[in-house]
Chains A and B, each alone.
Chain A
Amino acid sequence: MRIRVYPWRILFPLEPALGDCMTHPEDPPPILGSWNRIYALVLGVLVLCIALLTLFGRVFR
């Protein structure tokens, strides 16, 4: 278990109402090994969708 410190915490100091919620140890995801990989997958699929939809419209225009 590693403690994750998010980059924006440098800009926004710990909120009183959040307590230590953002620095809890992170559970690893059940698939793909790390959360960053899963986030990258979701965003990658979004970019791919936009590209394919653009291409789709142009091919059949």
Chain B
Amino acid sequence: MHRALDPLWQGVPVSRLDWIILGGALAFVVLFGLWKGRRRKDAEAYLLSGRDARWTTICLSIMATQASAITFLSTPGQAYVDGMRFVQFYLGLPLAMVVLSVTVVPIFHRLKVFTAYEYLEGRFDLKTRTLAAVLFLLQRGLAVGLTLYAPALVLSVLLGWNLQVNLVLVAALVMIYTVTGGTKAVSWAQSLQMLIITGGMCVAGFMVVRQLPAGVSLPDALHVAGVLGRLNAIDTTFDLNTRYNLWSGLIGGFFLMLSYFGTDQSQVQRYLTGKSVAQSRLGLLANGLLKVPMQFLILLLGALVFVYYQFATPPVFFNPAAVAKARAGAEAATFQVAETQYRQATEARAEKAKGFLAARKHGNAAAESQARADLQAADARAQAVRAGAVEVIRRSDPSSDGKDVNYIFLSYVLHSLPAGLIGLVLAAVFSASMSSMSAEINALGATTVVDIWRRLLGRNDPAKEVWVSRIATFAWGCFALFFAQYASRLGSLVEAVNILGSLFYGTILGIFLVAFYVKRVKGGAAFWAALVAQAAVFACFAFTRISFLWFNVVGCFCVVFFALLFHHLAPPPAESEAILPCA
């Protein structure tokens, strides 16, 4: 079934059936979004879908916004390279969903805000609202470029097209229905996109199990993955420098998710569309229920692809462009030797894997233990040869980061799935990318209009708001297009997005926590505390090696601590307490 061992697979033919399925799915999504988003006449209808969504739509929309194409391209590759410990990143999510459902959802709903930052002006002042909105625009504006880059990479590899052309094509598809139909178009298109994504990933999972060699069952495959360290889902050691462990996931992940879902307009806008507090809450809680199992299954898919490549020789490096440069570079001979050695090492490893499974079936503990050790040694040998080849790649192309995480799953799909299913999986990847990007530019447009255009610039013309929102959404789409040019330099895309988010989320979350729970602190103290906290997070990023998940905790606590300190040093004059009306 594996069509080629050569990693230079730009020429892999995609059948007419694949193109029909891919093109048909994307066209249907765009047309469906346009149809659902028609006749949006005022800002509330355009930006918040008229607040009429049910919890099922909200849940699908929330999930589709978070699960971008980056999730589906990088996450299986992450499991292939590093095992399943990345799942711990999501363990704080259900906790955050419960906290947000109890506290934030009723507040935002009953205050009838358009954006999360609108609330901050009532609680603090205009400058704190503007600071939070600008931090969001900065962080999300950059992240949406990464969201756009991933599927464009797919097209450029598939067709050999110029990457810029691909970026423009994908951005144009998204902007057609997002700019025209607003939030309602985004939400309904996301429901459809989640169906396509689920279908595509289920098919890929089914096929990878089906394509294991004769006599290798799913439990056998899991044993091979486990022996080679790819099923290490939970790590209970407490180490601030370890990127993913139970504690960084539960504590750091909790703060990150609290901030992402509670203060990031791209998510807040999803549940502000709910027709009641109950519908919005249920949408969030259903997400909390489904997210960890979903991520586990995607990582499991990556672990199974890893097992598949134990029996079908993988390329020494999954990035075909980097391999081409190494083959044509000054160290071509060294690289060729490394490729030959890797092929031999992986063939030897395949034999050891078969030997391990045979020993398991015989039930001889001593033989099984020996076979396990042999398999681990063979894998270590293959990894060492691969590391040597990666070094040659780095020397051949100093701009290369030596990472191929984003290419692994895609390589499997193109080489190993039959005609028709490739189109379906590609449609899933594109759907994921489009769903995230549409929600993000939709939220960026809303924040620009509500917090900057309407409030900061003092423009209050309801007749123009829908058109200004459309222009802002379009402008952010163009900005994402510009930033996407630099995304290839950022290594694993899924990690790049999360690291970028963690730089800002802690500070924004701290502002909201002070707003909600520290009654005596007023706007000035909160504003300056946020600036100090942001500087502290940047310092942690630049000068320490602590895992990025802890940035959320550092930022959040710094805001709370310095807000209390500044309040104590310079208490504001006493004033009457204004109570915001609840709708």
Task: Mark A residues whose CB is within 8 Å of B.
Answer: 6, 8, 12-13, 15-22, 24, 26-31, 35, 38-39, 41-43, 45-46, 49-50, 53-54, 56-57, 59-61
Contact = CB atoms under 8 A, between A and B. Distances in A.
B123 A30 contact: no
Given A13-B519, A21-B110, A60-B226, A42 B234 contact: no
Given A16-B577, A18-B107, A24-B110, A45 B123 contact: no
Nearest to B230: A60
6 contacts: A16-B577, A17-B515, A18-B107, A21-B106, A49-B293, A53-B87
Contact of B233 (A16, A42, A57): A57
B97 A42 contact: yes
Nearest to B219: A60
A60 B36 CA distance: 47
B580 interface: yes
B107 A21 contact: yes
A28 B278 contact: yes
B285 A38 contact: yes
A24 B77 CA distance: 47
Closest 5 CB pairs of A and B: A60-B226, A17-B123, A16-B577, A53-B233, A27-B278
Contacts of B94: 42-43, 45-46
A12 to B, nearest CB: 5
Given A30-B278, A35-B281, A22 B106 contact: yes
> What is the predominant secondary structure among interface residues of chain B facing chain A?
helix
B245 to A, nearest CB: 12
Contacts of B515: 15, 17
B263 to A, nearest CB: 15
B207 interface: no
Given A19-B580, A39-B285, A27 B277 contact: yes
B231 interface: yes
A53 B315 CA distance: 30
Contact of A41 (B223, B234, B289, B517): B289
A49 B292 contact: yes
Given A6-B102, A50-B246, A60-B226, A16 B578 contact: yes
B252 interface: no
Given A15-B123, A27-B276, A46 B292 contact: yes
Contact of B234 (A21, A39, A50): A50
B516 interface: yes
Of B95, B223, B233, B516, the most chain A CB neighbours within 10 A belong to: B233
A12 B231 contact: no
B505 interface: no
B234 A54 contact: yes
Contacts of B519: 12-13, 15-16
B289 A45 contact: yes
A50 B91 contact: yes
Contact of B582 (A20, A26, A27, A61): A20
Interface of B: 55, 84, 87, 91, 94-95, 97-98, 101-103, 106-107, 110-111, 119, 122-123, 222-223, 225-227, 231-234, 246, 276-278, 281-282, 285, 288-289, 292-293, 296, 515-517, 519, 577-582
B222 A60 contact: yes
B275 to A, nearest CB: 11
Given A16-B579, A18-B516, A38-B285, A57 B232 contact: yes
Nearest to A47: B94
A22 to B, nearest CB: 7
A50 B253 CA distance: 14
A60 B276 CA distance: 45
Contacts of A13: 519
Nearest to A11: B517
Nearest to A8: B517
Contact of A61 (B106, B227, B246): B227
A50 B247 CA distance: 12
B296 A49 contact: yes
B226 A43 contact: no
A17 B119 CA distance: 8
Given A17-B580, A53-B87, A39 B101 contact: yes
Given A18-B516, A18-B580, A19-B579, A53 B98 contact: no
B335 to A, nearest CB: 35
Contacts of A28: 278
Nearest to A6: B102
B231 A60 contact: yes
Nearest to A22: B106
Contacts of A29: 278, 281-282
Given A17-B122, A50-B234, A56-B233, A43 B292 contact: no
Nearest to A51: B234
B103 to A, nearest CB: 8
Contacts of B102: 6, 39
B573 to A, nearest CB: 15
Contacts of A26: 277
Nearest to B232: A57
A45 B294 CA distance: 13
Contacts of B578: 16-17
Nearest to A17: B123
Contacts of A6: 102
A42 B231 contact: no
B184 to A, nearest CB: 22
Nearest to B227: A61
Nearest to A59: B226
B290 to A, nearest CB: 9
Contacts of B517: 8, 12, 15
B98 A42 contact: yes
A40 B370 CA distance: 46
A57 B98 contact: no
A59 to B, nearest CB: 8
